[in-house]
Amino acid sequence: MSTSNVYSSPVFYDNSETIKEELTLHSTRKKHLIIYDQKAVDDINQAIDNRSEEELETMEIQGSINLQDLRVLLYSQKMGTQLYIAAEWANAVTVFDEAVEAGFTEDEIQVIIYGETKRYVYCMKCYHTSETTYDDEVQCPKCSAHMDVGPFFSKVRKGYIGYPFNPIYREVGQA
């Protein structure tokens, strides 16, 4: 019997292992690339003030992301470059996805989120993934199914698995 390892591209989600509380430059990396938006300017300036001995490159996102400039920057990096993303959720997701497309691995990416994170649930009834609250029970916006949100995130479905239930039976069972 043959077993094969299948590579699964990194997926960014609210509990992703790449999300950190604060920016920590890896001392073992020779090159650091920091991509950040306006929310992170002060923190980034403070973090890089003491780092003149390492190769450091930065890109500030001003307003919307210029995808062409971002792609050129990411694809031009040497293997082993450590990427730091410090931004609001939407900008962080865009940069993360482009970085993965350019060949960065989860070990090479560190993300600091400014503001709220977002959570997605995959409905097992209609197969739709949607943004949701952090409640244990939610309702699918597409098919209106009531769902229990499971604890596991599906990298394939890009959401937590939502298991449909009939709320009438649940209310009867609690009576």
pLDDT band at 6 (very low <50, low <70, confident <90, very high): low
- pTM of the entire predicted model: 0.84
pLDDT of residue 148: 96
Q: Give me the percent of the chain exceeding a pLDDT of 90.
A: 66
Strand locations in 41-170, DSSP E? 55-61, 82-87, 109-113, 119-123, 129-132, 137-139, 146-154, 159-165
3-state secondary structure of 3: coil
What's the whole-number average pLDDT of the chain? 89
Closest to 43 in 3D by CA, of 59, 23, 58: 23
| Predicted confidence (pLDDT) per residue in 89-109, tens digit | 999 999 999 999 999 999 999
CB 108 within 8 A of CB 81: yes
Higher pLDDT, 172 or 119: 119
Strands 159-165 and 119-123: what pairing?
A: parallel
Q: What is the pLDDT of residue 48?
A: 78
Residue 77 is predicted with a pLDDT of 96
**Is there a contact between 72 and 57 (Cβ–Cβ < 8 Å)?**
no
Instruction: Report residue 45: phi and psi, to 5°.
Output: -60, -40
Would you call 66 helix, strand, or coil by DSSP?
coil
Residue among 96, 88, 113 nearest 37 (CA): 88
Cβ contacts of 136-140, under 8 Å, gap ≥ 24: 138/162, 140/164
The pair of structure tokens assigned to 141 is: 């916006």
Residues paired with residue 59 on neighbouring β-strands, in sequence order: 35
**Which range (30-34, 38-42, 169-173) has the least confidence?**
169-173
Give the pLDDT mean for 23-35.
87
Sketch out the chain's domains with CATH numbers: 31-113 (3.40.50.10140), 119-174 (no CATH)
* Model pLDDT, residue 3: 57
| Close Cβ partners of 92 (under 8 Å, ≥ 6 residues apart) | 12, 85, 111, 113
